[in-house]
Amino acid sequence: MDQAIIREYRESDLIEVSNLVDEFQDYLISLDHLSRMRRLPSYGTEHTNSILKEVGEQSGKLLLATDNNRVIGLIAGTIKLQTPEDLLESNPTVDGRVTELYVSPSYRNSGIGKILMEKMEAYLIERGCNAIRIFVFESNVLARNFYEKLGYEERLIDLIKIVKD
């Protein structure tokens, strides 16, 4: 790898990004010890379109890492404005949310994930966010450790009990 280039998503990236989203889902499935996740054939395209819609509706951004014009990583972030209901239980804040972060396995541990996070954090801070949140799959220990090294800490924990197969 020469030098990864970080840039915004373009419509011409749809197929490559969809393939990367499929790869990400397959990775998460491999970590799912409860076998609750799956990936249908249309997942990559449908989920990519969902990301783009969410980014468009919530003042967000989708950034890509490329190497020799090949998409090797992505990060999506949005801005969540508080509703009147939120303000009943929370202090006023503007939260950014990293909704997706994935780097292809052969490019991990090369600093690309950190660069993507730095770029997204800068964007969200520039837009007035004073906190940034990330949902991370509990079994994804590598991601959890990565985020903790960047200063993120646990805030909410989602528990599950399987009561019927």
**pLDDT at residue 2 above 80?**
no
Geometric angle at alpha carbon 116, from 31 and 16, rounded to 5° = 70
Is residue 160 a part of any domain in this protein? no
Q: What does the longest C-alpha to C-alpha distance in the chain come to? A: 51
pLDDT in tens, 98-111: 999 999 999 999 99
Is residue 156 a part of any domain in this protein? no
Neighbours of 71 (CB within 10 A): 19
Number of domains in the chain: 1
Consecutive H or E run containing 15? helix 14-31
Please give the model's pTM, rounded to 2 decimal places. 0.92
**pLDDT at residue 1 above 70?**
no
pLDDT in tens, 58-74: 999 999 999 999 999 99
Domain carrying residue 99: 5-149
Q: What is the DSSP letter of 68?
A: T
What's the CATH code of the domain at 63? 3.40.630.30
